[in-house]
Amino acid sequence: MSGGGDAPPEEGAKEAKPEGGGPSKIILILLVLNLGASGFGAFKAATAHAAPVAHEAAPEASGNEITGPVVQLDPFVVNLNEATARYVKVTLQLELTGEPAVANLEKGKQLVRDQVLSYLSGLKVADTLGEAAKDHMKEELLKRIIDALGKGNVKRVFFSEFVVQ
């Protein structure tokens, strides 16, 4: 029996593989992509940690640094200027210029409390809402506290508690 195109393949012949390389080529591509992504992630993590260190090594002169002693005042609870019973509870901290200013605050505490209470009692609820309103309140309180203690004693006013009901 010779010659037909229907002859079985010889035993030693190999089957033809598809040209794409099959599953092993896909796994190799996924491994290379994973390695690249891992390297990129490690690079980003390393540079993210390096940037703050360099920034901290050379701090910029900003107005956000506390340079004087900070003194917390007793809380203020004040009825607001509303037809219904509404009130505000505020606790203030004052950044002072130095130790002499601490002594001046101790002597003039009653004047400071009077100024703060007078100002807060004239506010309406709408005057206390939002960041801009609170910034305005800090400015006004600072002016009044400086009037009570004299210039050169108080640098800034901070809210450590602020509740409106």
Per residue in 22-65, pLDDT tens?
677 777 776 666 666 666 655 555 554 443 433 333 333 346 78
Express as a percent the part of the chain with pLDDT over 70: 65
Q: Which CATH superfamily is domain 70-164 in?
A: Band 7 domain (3.30.479.30)
Taking the alpha carbons at both ends of the chain, their separation in whole angstroms is 106
Cα three-residue angle 104-109-113, rounded to 5 degrees? 140
* pLDDT one-digit tens code per residue, 120-158: 999 999 999 999 999 999 999 999 999 999 999 999 999
pLDDT of 61 reads: 37
User: What's the pLDDT at 123?
Assistant: 94
- Domain positions in the chain: 21-59, 70-164
Between CA 27 and CA 65 the distance in angstroms is 55
DSSP state of 130: S
Q: What is residue 151's predicted lDDT score, i.e. its pLDDT? A: 92
Task: Indicate yes or no: pTM above 0.75.
Answer: no
